[in-house]
Amino acid sequence: MKRKIFLYVLLVISAFLLTFPLLFALLASFLNSGELHRGVYIPESFNFNSYVQAFASIPLFRFLINSLIVSVSVTIGQLVLCSLAAFAIVFIPFKGRNFFFFLFISTLLVPWESTVVPNYVTILNAGWLNTYQALTLPFLATAFGIFLLRQHFMTIPKELYESAEIDGCSRFRFYRSFALPLSKPVLVALGVYGFLTTWNMYLWPLLVTSDTTVRTIQIGINMMISQEASTNWSMVMAAVVIILIPTLLLLFIGIKHIQRGLTSGALKG
C-alpha cells in the first residue's frame, strides 16, 4: 500500500513537470493582457478573445487546411510507395533484391538536412516554390517506411503466398487482398507517424514557401511570433493550442499502434 502511494506521488509529480508547459500555454491563451502583465496565471474568466484574434491576425484557417492537405498527401503516398517497394523485396524472387534492399536502407544514414541545398535548387529551377508539390513530393518515399513494412511482410507465412499463387492469384492481387490487410497495424503506425512528422515539419516549408497560399501552420506560428510576440502573448498561445489539438488527438488515438509498430520494427532486426 505504502509503495502504491509513493508511486502515485511520483507519477503525478513527473506528469506535472513534463506537461506544465502545455498547461501554461492553455491557461495563457485565456488570459487578457492586463492579467498577463500582472503575472496572473489562472484566468479570472475564460474568454475566447485571443482565439478570435488569432484567426483574424494571420490566415490561420488557410494554414491549417494547407497543413492538412500536405500531411494527408504525404501519408497516403508513403503508405502506397513504401508498401509496394517492400512487397517487391519480400515476395518477388529477383536478382539484386539484396542490393536494392541495402540501397534503400543506406538512405537511413543520410541526414536529410545535408541534402537540403540541392533539393532547394531543384524546386527553384522547376519553378515550384510556393506549390503543394514542393511540400509533398520529396517525402513520398522513406527508407524507414520500406524497412518497417519489409520487417512485417517477412512475418507473413511463405506457404500462404505459395498456395495463393497455385490458386492463380496474381501478385498484385496478393498484395492488395492479403499483404496489405494483414499488415493493418503496421500501416496504421506508419501512417500516424508519417502524418505527425509531416505536420510538424519546419525547415523545408520555411524554405519553399514565401507567401501565404500554401504555407503550413508551423511556419504560420513563426510568422505570428515575429509579428505579435512582443505585444500579445495570449494570442500566440491561442494559436499554439489550436495547432496542438489535431496532433495531440491523433497521438492519443494512435499511441498503441505507434508503440507496437515502432518497437516491433526496431527490435526484430
Partner 1 sequence: MRRNEWKNFGEAMLYMLPALIILGIFLFYPMIMTVIYSLSETSPRGEVLSFVGLENYWQWMQSSQFIQSMKSTFIFTLLTVPTTVVLALYLAVLGNEKLKGIAFFRVLFSSTMGVSVAAGAAIWLFLFHPSLGVFNEFLRFFGAEGIPWLTSSTYAIYSVAITTVWMNVGICFIILLGGLQNISDELYDSSKIDGAGYFQRLFKITIPMLSPTLFFVSTITLINSFQSFGQIHILTGGGPNQSTNVIVYSIYREAFEFARFGTASSQAVILFFIILLATFLQFKFGERRVHYQ
User: How near is the Cβ of 2 to partner 1 at its closest, in Å?
Assistant: 13
Q: Kindly give, in sequence order, each residue whose CB lies less than 8 Å from that of residue 38, ignoring residues fewer than 6 positions away.
A: none
* Position 14 contacts partner 1 (CB under 8 A): yes
**Residue-wise burial string across 193-212, b where 16 or more C-beta atoms lie within 10 A, e elsewhere:** bbbbbbbebeebbebbbeee
Looking at residues 145 to 174 of the shown chain, list those that interact with partner 1 (rule: CB under 8 A). 146, 171
Q: How many CA atoms lie within 13 A of 137 on its CB side?
A: 12
User: In the set 199, 209, 214, 235, which binds partner 1 (CB under 8 A)?
Assistant: 199
Q: What are phi and psi of 137, to 5 degrees?
A: -50, -45
Q: Which region, judged by CB under 8 A, interacts with partner 1, from 48-56, 151-159, 178-186, 246-254?
A: 246-254
User: In the set 163, 177, 213, 222, which binds partner 1 (CB under 8 A)?
Assistant: 222
Q: Which is nearer to partner 1, 146 or 187 (CB)?
A: 146
The single-letter code of the amino acid at 95 is: K
* Position 258 contacts partner 1 (CB under 8 A): yes
* Position 11 contacts partner 1 (CB under 8 A): yes
* Position 53 contacts partner 1 (CB under 8 A): no
* Position 51 contacts partner 1 (CB under 8 A): no
* Position 111 contacts partner 1 (CB under 8 A): yes
Q: How far is CA 165 from CA 2, 88, 92, 184, in A?
A: 61, 15, 12, 22
